[in-house]
Amino acid sequence: MCKAHVHKACLLLSIEARQKTDCTICKQPIQNVTQRPVRVFSRWVCVFALVLVSTIITALLASLLLLALAVDDRHDDVFYDLLVCCASSAGLATCASGFLRKLLEDHSLTKTHAVYEFV
């Protein structure tokens, strides 16, 4: 049995760096440490969500601005600009859905890594 005294946080950092639960001094398994898998969203999902939210906010603000101009001034050209904005938003949504489909096919949506903790 190993008699070394190691700070618990340092021991956990050492285990995570080596990905092994064996003691580096006596080479025996450490008894009170368990491995727990943690799933987090992958980088692709976070980037896609950020781009999607910013696109929705931009399209919403543009549509509200053009609608306010169309109602206030009662000009037909501003109303047509609103229709063009809505059509381009629909086209952008179509492209985004294609990107999402490719993202779902090519990449894993979650990433799993091990977290070590004391029991």
* pLDDT 10s digits, 34-93: 888 888 888 878 888 888 888 888 878 877 777 777 776 666 776 777 778 778 877 887
Residue that has been written with the tokens 């993202």 in this structure: 103
**Residue 70 CB: number of other CB atoms within 10 A?**
18
Mean pLDDT of the chain: 79
CA proximity to 59, closest of 28, 32, 92 = 92
Q: Tell me what percent of the residues of the chain surpass a pLDDT of 90.
A: 0
pTM of the model: 0.50
The CA distance from 59 to 104, in Å, is 24
